[in-house]
Amino acid sequence: MPFEERLDISSKTDVGQARAKNEDNLGEASPDETGRGWFFVVADGMGGAVGGATASGLAVENAKAGYCEYMRSKPLESPFGGLTYAVERANQSIFDRSRTDESCYGMGTTIVVMAIIGDMVYTAHVGDSRIYRYRDGRLEKMMRDHTRVQMLSDQGIITPAEANHHPESHVINRNLGGRPDVEVDTPADGPFPLMEGDTYLLCSDGLHGLVPDDTIRRVLDKAPPKHASAALVELANRRGGYDNITVSLVTAGKGPAAWEDFDEVAFRKLVDELALEETSDTALFEAHDPDSRAPAEFETQRLKAIAAGEPIDRATGRSTAPKKGEEDKPKGQASRNTVMLDEAEMGGMFAAMRAADAVAATSPSPGTPAESLKKGISPLVIVLLLALLFTVALVAVLIIVLILK
């Protein structure tokens, strides 16, 4: 019996602790709907509460409909073609709406899609929502983020470790809705064969931005999808929940041996332990407060809020009390918002950075004032100075002669 018929599926989405509305969306389609295998999708909307939710909703609706349409009309074509068509259709629907609905202008969304047909897995994505595979105790990211920090890491400007805590990790350079066409990434080494116990995780950055990969691995190692999905959402919330959180877990066949003896009480204890790991004020600052510049500043903000008796946001160290005149402003907006830049803009920025570095590398150091003066005087200037001195001397001689006469 193919794995397609032996899947354990659990999906959850949560508004988190900072947002007023959930701008994430998810969906799935069974073999009865697609005509060939399962289809899964997760989208993380951007562009304000109205635009973001609309964008991700359109993405899920149109991707699902597009994939089903493609697979039923072209049963012999590669599923990668179906996934690409699904994402392109989703992009067009968002782009069209943003041009006709003023309230949705500038909206966009990320998207990850996955199909399971027989014993094979097909994936595609745009943006920084992720697909992971858990296999034999290892967690692997199955795609590349379309973000500024990924480009910085690829170019060797920062290390992968630095990328995990970079203050611009929220800046993405590819998304749905910004243009009438979009480049969809599919893996060059796909499709991926399913093995007994494989678990695939589709998630928004509300999860992977707060819960480290190793913590995700430890959860998947100990619990089946139903319990693991709930635990991952809980961990993201307990670590700040600055964004909406969405997870979709799919396990092929039987899970790890630990699942056979699953103990909910012991698992709850593990979740509590994981929630307390790496959640010091400094760790939260490093990962989740791009506006602060140093742990010392972060601590100062926190202590000032405490001294004033004000409630504080543990993820930023800042007071959450409304400022004067802001009591009636809409609440729920996270302190960290996704910024959308396309790859042409990113390329221009990197070109400017490299040009500036090249100028700095070829420019001579200023040295001492005397050295700078010496290096800065050209032979022509020296000749002109000598001519001026000669003229002054000649005039002085003439004056003296006239006086003596």
Q: Let me know whether 8 and 153 are in one domain.
A: yes
Q: Is 73 within the bounds of a domain?
A: yes
Going by pLDDT thresholds of 50, 70 and 90, the confidence category of residue 255 is: confident
Same domain, 174 and 64: yes
The pLDDT of residue 315 is 44
Does the pLDDT at position 366 exceed 60?
Answer: no
pLDDT at residue 245 tops 90: yes
**Domain end marker among 261, 281, 301:** 281
Confidence of residue 296 (pLDDT cuts 50, 70, 90): very low
Peptide bond into 191 cis (omega under 30): yes
Q: Same domain for 101 and 240?
A: yes
Which strands make up the sheet holding 130-135, listed edge to edge?
7-14, 245-252, 199-203, 130-135, 138-141
Give me the pLDDT at residue 275, please.
Answer: 92
Query: What's the domain count of the chain?
Result: 2
Q: Are residues 109 and 211 in the same domain?
A: yes
CB 206 within 8 A of CB 16: yes
Asked if the model's pLDDT at residue 261 lies above 50, the reply is: yes
Taking the C-alpha atoms of residue 174 and residue 305, their distance in angstroms, rounded to an integer, is 38
Higher pLDDT, 33 or 357: 33
In degrees to the nearest 10, what's the CA dihedral of 219, 225, 230, 234? 20
Annotate 227-244 with DSSP letters as a single string.
Answer: HHHHHHHHHHHHTT--S-
Q: Domain residues for 187?
A: 3-281
pLDDT tens across 47-67, in order? 765 789 999 999 999 999 999
- 380 and 262 share a domain? no
pLDDT tens string 31-47: 999 999 999 999 999 87
* Residue 358 covered by a domain: no
> Per-residue pLDDT averaged across 169-197, rounded?
90
Angle of CA points 3, 56, 198, to nearest 5°: 20
* Exposed / middle / buried, residue 384 (Cβ in 10 Å: 0-12, 13-18, 19+): exposed
262 and 384 part of one domain: no
Q: Domain with 270 in it: what CATH number?
A: 3.60.40.10
d(CA 304, CA 299) in angstroms, rounded, equals: 9
Residue 278's pLDDT is: 60
pLDDT: is 297 or 82 the higher one? 82
Q: Report whether pLDDT(122) > 60.
A: yes
Whole-number pLDDT of residue 326: 41
Q: Looking at the predicted structure, is the pLDDT value of residue 370 above 50?
A: no
Q: What is the distance between the alpha carbons of residues 195 and 404, in angstroms, rounded to a whole number?
A: 113
pLDDT, residue 368, reads: 43
Domain boundary among 244, 261, 281: 281
* Of 263, 281, 299, the domain-final residue: 281
Averaged confidence pLDDT in the chain:
80
Q: Is residue 354 part of a domain?
A: no
Asked whether the beta carbons of 205 and 44 are under 8 A apart, the reply is yes
Whole-angstrom distance, CA of residue 309 vs CA of residue 34: 57
57 and 185 fall within a common domain? yes
Domain assignment present for 151: yes
User: Residue 1 — pLDDT band, cuts 50, 70, 90?
Assistant: confident
- The pLDDT, as a whole number, for residue 397 is 82
Please check whether residue 115 lies inside any domain of the structure: yes
326 domain residue, yes or no: no
Q: Would you say 16 and 245 are in contact if contact means Cβ atoms under 8 Å apart?
A: yes
**More confident: 334 or 221:** 221
Question: For 306-326, what is the mean pLDDT?
Answer: 49
What is the pLDDT averaged over residues 286-297?
A: 38
Please determine, for residue 331, whether its predicted confidence score (pLDDT) is greater than 80. no
Predicted confidence at residue 378, as pLDDT, reads 62
Compute the distance between CA of residue 22 and CA of residue 241 in angstroms, rounded to an integer: 12
Round to whole Å and give the CA distance between 170 and 157: 17
Same domain, 381 and 268: no
C-beta of residue 28 within 8 angstroms of C-beta of residue 62:
no
Give the mean pLDDT of 329-349: 48
> How long a stretch of residues is the chain?
405
Domain-embedded: residue 247 = yes
> Is residue 166 included in any domain, yes or no?
yes
Q: What is the mean pLDDT of residues 138-155?
A: 86
Q: Are residues 402 and 253 in the same domain?
A: no
pLDDT at 339: 55
Residue 134 gets the label, from left (phi > 0), alpha (psi -120 to 50) or beta, of: beta
CA separation for the pair 112, 128 (Å, rounded): 9
